Amino acid sequence: MPELRKDPVVGRWIVFSPERQIRPERYRCEEMPPTKPEEDPFLEGHEAYTPPELYAIRPHGGAANGPGWQVRVVPNRFPALRVEGELEKEAFGFYDRMNGVGAHEVIVETPHPQLPLEKQSLPGVTRVLEACRSRVQDLSKDLRMHYILIFKNQGAKAGATMPHAHTQLIALPVTPIVVKEKLCAARAYYLEKDRNLFEDILKAERKSGDRLVFENDGFTVFCPFASRFPFETCVMPRRQQADFHASSDADLVHLAEALQKTLGAYASALNHPDYNLILHTAPFRRSRRPDSWTTLDADFRWHIEILPRLTGVAGFEFGTGFYINPTLPEEATSVLREATLHG
C-alpha cells in the first residue's frame, strides 16, 4: 500500500510509492526510449496489456477491452495511489501519515501510436476532454476523494515515460497545498473587493492585450504576467465556473480549439518542446470542511496552466519558491501569437 507522509515544517504531503521503486542505477535514464509497437500497451488491439478499462468512446459499438475505441481510460499499471482501502490517518511518533488511497488513471488520447494532441482533429481533442470530464464526474462520488488533478507530461524532460499520447488523472484524499493557496487567495480577494480574482486578471489581460495569445467565445489564452517558465500559458474560461466537470459540450469544443491552437503554436514556434499541462479545478468536498476556502462557487475559477520545459528547476527555485525566467511574457506572446495566426 502506498503511504502519504506529511512534512512537519511546511505541511507538504509526500506520496511514497514502493511499487514505482527503481534501482539507483536505473534512475538516470532520462531519455525516453521509443516504445516498440509490439510493446505499446496503448495500441489498438493491445487492450489486454492494461488493467480493465474504466471508460471508452466506441462510435461503432464493440465490447469493452476490445478494439474499435477512439479514447480509452484505464488504471495506471504502476499507480502512485491505490483505490482500495481506508485512509487510516494516524500519528507516527512525532510525524503524520496516512495510507495512499486515491486513484491514478491514464486517458489514452488516441489508438494511433504517434499522434500528439495538437495534431488531432477538433473532434479528437474534444473527445479527450469528454473522457476527462466523465472520469471526474464519476470519481467525485467517492467520498474519500477531495481533489482530482488532471495533468499531462509531454516528453521525457516533462517526466513522461511512455511516448504514446496520454493524459493522466490523480484523485487525492486531501486538497493539495498549491490548490489551497489559490483558493485562499481567491477567497480573500473576493471578501475584500466583492469581485472575482480570475475575472479581474482576465479583464486586465484583455484590456492590455500585451500578453493575449488566443481567444474564442469560451476561452482566453494568455502568458501570465509573472510566468515561471519561458512561454508559459494560462487557458482561462471566459465565464465564471468553479468546476471543470460542470463544463458543457459547447465549452469543451471551445477548450479543444484553444488547446489545439496553443499546443500547435508551441510545436511550430519552439520545435515541439516538452511540456507539463495542469488543470486546476475546485475541490469536491467543499461543503464538508469549515475552512475559509470552501464556498468558492463565486470566487474560484477553474483553469489550465501549460509549462514548457525549456529551462530547468534548480537550487534557486527549490530554495526560494521564486523562479528565474529569461523571457518576458510579452516577448513570448508575440512569438506564440504569430504562430497561432500562421498555424
Contact status: 75 vs a copy of itself (CB under 8 A): no
Can you tell me which of 60, 61, 63, 94 binds a copy of itself, judged by CB under 8 A?
Answer: 94
Q: Write out the three cell numbers for 63.
A: 465490447
Longest dimension (CA), the chain: 60
Contact status: 298 vs a copy of itself (CB under 8 A): no
Contact status: 21 vs a copy of itself (CB under 8 A): yes
Can you tell me which of 146, 164, 182, 245 binds a copy of itself, judged by CB under 8 A?
Answer: 182
Q: In terms of CB distance, is 63 or 226 closer to a copy of itself?
A: 226
Phi/psi at 8 (5° precision): -75, -15
Say how far residue 29 (Cα) sits from the centre of its chain. 24
Q: In terms of CB distance, is 118 or 305 closer to a copy of itself?
A: 305
SS (H, E, C) 105-123: EEEECCCCCCCCHHHCCHH
Contact status: 76 vs a copy of itself (CB under 8 A): no
Interacting residues with a copy of itself between 249 and 268 (CB under 8 A): none
Can you tell me which of 122, 191, 250, 314 binds a copy of itself, judged by CB under 8 A?
Answer: 314
Interacting residues with a copy of itself between 24 and 53 (CB under 8 A): 24-25, 27-28, 30
Render 179-199 in DSSP notation, one character per residue: HHHHHHHHHHHHHHHSS-HHH
Q: Which residues contact 61 (CB under 8 A, 6 or more apart)?
A: 68
> Where does this chain touch a copy of itself (CB under 8 A) — which range of 54-62, 117-125, 224-232, 288-296?
224-232
∠ CA(169), CA(38), CA(116), 5° rounding? Answer: 45
Nearest distance, CB of residue 310 and a copy of itself, angstroms: 4
Sheet holding 212-215, edge to edge: 55-57, 71-75, 103-108, 166-172, 147-154, 275-280, 303-308, 233-237, 219-222, 212-215
Q: Write out the three cell numbers for 32.
A: 525516453
Nearest distance, CB of residue 288 and a copy of itself, angstroms: 20
Render 33-45 in DSSP notation, one character per residue: PPPPGGG-TTSTT
Contact status: 60 vs a copy of itself (CB under 8 A): no
Contact status: 93 vs a copy of itself (CB under 8 A): yes
Interacting residues with a copy of itself between 184 and 213 (CB under 8 A): 185-186, 197, 200-201, 203-204, 207-208
Catalytic residue among 104, 146, 166, 254: 166
**d(Cα 196, Cα 298) in Å, to the nearest integer?**
7
Nearest distance, CB of residue 225 and a copy of itself, angstroms: 5
Contact status: 159 vs a copy of itself (CB under 8 A): yes
In the chain, the amino acid numbered 187 is: R
**Applying CB under 8 A, what is the total number of residues that bind a copy of itself?**
90
Q: Which residues are catalytic?
A: 166
